[in-house]
């Protein structure tokens, strides 16, 4: 691996849906190692819709500065080390960014044990179903959703990595699970995961039709709504919530590119139905990650959890892969193989 690498930086802030000119691919000379540092060759990195907010301003973390590397989870190989924690050849997971390589201090990296991975649990799962998306589904559903066997779980963006994982975890807990996805192909995928029903939101021409479709699939109402979309879909779900229902706000992909967010209209239902609504930042559960990752791997090996990955080759296409997330082009966790 050469010391000169390519990496994507933020060249201008997007006003709405990002465009390719918001990003710049630059050459960068990696510095020599200092004490307790490692040089990493990136093998994979993720493109994540949740990063959208930080491109324009402060979000769950401070705004990404102009000229900074686009941040994301990555998997890489230790090429050089001055650290006692890692040796050359170790595979690690951490915040490597949209970059062919990085030099960084040896903290904030997780060494990946090859024994954890096999044909069912691929190494890329460490930044997917066992990384932020899967952990968001795990803690969002279990901690905020407070599921009870026999309840009804409604999941939006159910073909996406978070929604698909949340729905399958729900099934493993004895819930009735209904997914919302867009288009015949994605609905067929959700159905193949064992959801009890799936709603094609693209086939619903009006808000009232979407509400009717949710009520038809959930005739006894919704106990837990796992929200990855927001806006009109969130309002439609609120209208179907049972008393004391719980709404887990995982993502708001319909809101990220709006200059004026849609917000919530059905606020009165929070009073009449005693609803609870809460969001999460998964890093708040960091100390519990190893236990959750082991449990998720167990579900995969018992064929109770299927995961899908959408992998593109080459760092050059990262902006297009990221932008495509907002029009639903991805099918599963979207990764770049560097």
pLDDT, tens only, 255-265: 888 877 788 88
121-167 pLDDT, tens per residue? 999 999 999 999 999 999 999 999 999 999 999 999 999 999 999 99
Share of the chain above pLDDT 70, in %: 100
Task: Report the distance separating Cα 171 and Cα 18, nearest Å.
Answer: 36
Return the pLDDT at 295: 95
Per DSSP bridges, beta strands 110-111 and 197-200 are unpaired
Return the pLDDT at 254: 86
Do residues 124 and 296 make contact, with C-beta atoms less than 8 angstroms apart? no
- The total number of residues shown for the chain amounts to 338
25: exposed, middle or buried (Cβ count in 10 Å: 0-12, 13-18, 19+): middle
- Asked if the model's pLDDT at residue 97 lies above 90, the reply is yes
Return the pLDDT at 49: 87
Q: Predicted confidence band at 169 (pLDDT cuts at 50, 70, 90)?
A: very high
200-223 pLDDT, tens per residue? 999 999 999 999 999 999 999 999
Task: Report the distance separating Cα 130 and Cα 136, nearest Å.
Answer: 10
276-319 pLDDT, tens per residue? 999 999 999 999 999 999 999 999 999 999 999 999 999 999 99
Task: Report the distance separating Cα 97 and Cα 72, nearest Å.
Answer: 4
Q: What is the CA radius of gyration of the chain?
A: 20
Return the pLDDT at 218: 98
Dihedral angle at the C-alpha atoms of 281, 263, 142, 332, nearest 10 degrees?
-80
Q: Is the CA virtual torsion 163, 168, 283, 5 positive or negative?
A: negative
Return the pLDDT at 261: 79
Return the pLDDT at 116: 85
What is this structure's pTM?
Answer: 0.87
Q: Predicted confidence band at 2 (pLDDT cuts at 50, 70, 90)?
A: confident
229 is written with which tokens?
């979309």
Crossing angle of helices 161-172 and 132-139, rounded to 10°? 40
- Asked if the model's pLDDT at residue 61 lies above 90, the reply is no
Q: Predicted confidence band at 115 (pLDDT cuts at 50, 70, 90)?
A: confident
Q: What fold is seen in the domain 132-282?
A: Rossmann fold (3.40.50)
Tracing tokens 């024994």 back to the chain, one arrives at 115
Domain boundaries, the chain: 4-128+307-337, 132-282
Domain 4-128+307-337: homologous superfamily in CATH: Medium-chain alcohol dehydrogenases, catalytic domain (3.90.180.10)
Task: Report the distance separating Cα 211 and Cα 195, nearest Å.
Answer: 19
Average pLDDT for residues 40-56, to the nearest whole number?
93
Q: Tell me the sheet residues that pair with 309.
A: 333
Return the pLDDT at 328: 81
Average pLDDT of the chain is: 95
């Amino acid at each position: 691996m050469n010391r000169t690498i390519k990496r994507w930086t933020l060249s201008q802030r997007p006003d709405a849906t990002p465009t390719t000119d918001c990003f710049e691919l630059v050459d960068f000379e990696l510095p020599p190692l200092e004490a307790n540092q490692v040089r990493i060759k990136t093998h994979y990195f993720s493109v994540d819709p949740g990063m959208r907010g930080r491109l324009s301003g402060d979000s769950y973390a401070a705004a990404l500065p102009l000229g900074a590397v686009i941040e994301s989870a990555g998997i890489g190989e230790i090429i050089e080390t001055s650290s006692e924690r890692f040796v050359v050849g170790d595979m690690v997971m951490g915040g490597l960014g949209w970059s062919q390589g990085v030099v960084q201090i040896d903290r904030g990296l997780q060494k990946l044990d090859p024994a954890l991975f096999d044909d069912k649990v691929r190494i890329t799962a460490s930044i997917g179903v066992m990384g932020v998306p899967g952990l968001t589904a795990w803690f969002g559903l279990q901690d905020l959703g407070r599921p009870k066997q026999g309840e009804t779980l409604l999941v939006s963006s159910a073909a996406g990595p978070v929604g698909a994982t949340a729905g399958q975890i729900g099934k493993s807990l004895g819930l009735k699970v209904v997914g919302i996805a867009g288009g015949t192909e994605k609905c067929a995928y959700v159905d193949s995961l064992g959801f009890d029903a799936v709603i094609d939101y693209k086939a619903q021409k009006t808000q009232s039709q979407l509400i009717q479709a949710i009520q038809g699939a959930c005739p006894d109402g919704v106990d837990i709504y796992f929200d990855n979309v927001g806006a009109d879909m969130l309002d439609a779900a609120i209208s179907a919530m049972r008393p004391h229902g719980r709404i887990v706000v995982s993502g708001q992909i319909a809101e990220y590119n709006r200059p004026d967010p849609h917000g919530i209209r059905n606020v009165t239902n929070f009073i009449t139905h005693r609803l609870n609504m809460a969001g999460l930042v998964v890093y708040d559960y960091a100390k519990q990650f190893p236990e959750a990752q082991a449990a998720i791997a167990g579900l995969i090996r018992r064929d109770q959890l299927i995961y899908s990955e959408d992998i593109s080759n080459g760092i050059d296409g990262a902006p297009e892969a990221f932008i495509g997330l907002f029009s639903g082009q991805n099918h599963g966790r979207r990764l770049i193989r560097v």
